[in-house]
Amino acid sequence: MRIDRVFDIVVQAFMIFAIAFAMVACVMAFRVFHLQYKEPVHEQYARSAVVYCIDEAEDTVTFIDGCGFIWAIKGVFDWEQGDLAALLMDNNGTSGTIGDDIVVDAWYSSLGWQIREGIA
């Protein structure tokens, strides 16, 4: 067998191996990406807070919860500083971090005036 024929066979074998390797790598990369990516799951939870500040010019009510996190909503309505509130929160599709959570809704808790007056 001549040397140039052997060389052609080696080059063809290498090309077949390279194409097979590239195909396997593409399939593996697709599977890894597909398995790692998950659609974000929005979960809602309740949080208690106190009205910390009311900005009527901006129409914003700011709450502070027991852990010191500050939350804000639009709509002053009849909120007063010191009112207790029940906040419906959304985790914004991220679990394990609270900094990007958002307030979905806020409700007045009737014990606010009793705590301020020392009755409760």
pLDDT, tens digit, 9 for 90 and up, residues 68-117: 999 999 999 889 998 899 999 999 998 888 999 999 999 998 665 566 66
82, 112 Cβ separation under 8 angstroms: yes
Separation between Cα atoms, residue 54 and residue 73, nearest integer Å: 10
- b/e string for 85-108 if b means 16 or more Cβ within 10 A? bebebebeeeeeeeeebebeebee
- What CATH class has 44-117? mainly beta
Give this prediction's pTM: 0.63
- b/e string for 25-36 if b means 16 or more Cβ within 10 A? eeeeeeeeeeee
Domain residue limits, the chain: 1-37, 44-117
Q: Give me the chain's average pLDDT, please.
A: 86
Residue 2: other Cβ atoms inside 10 A: 7
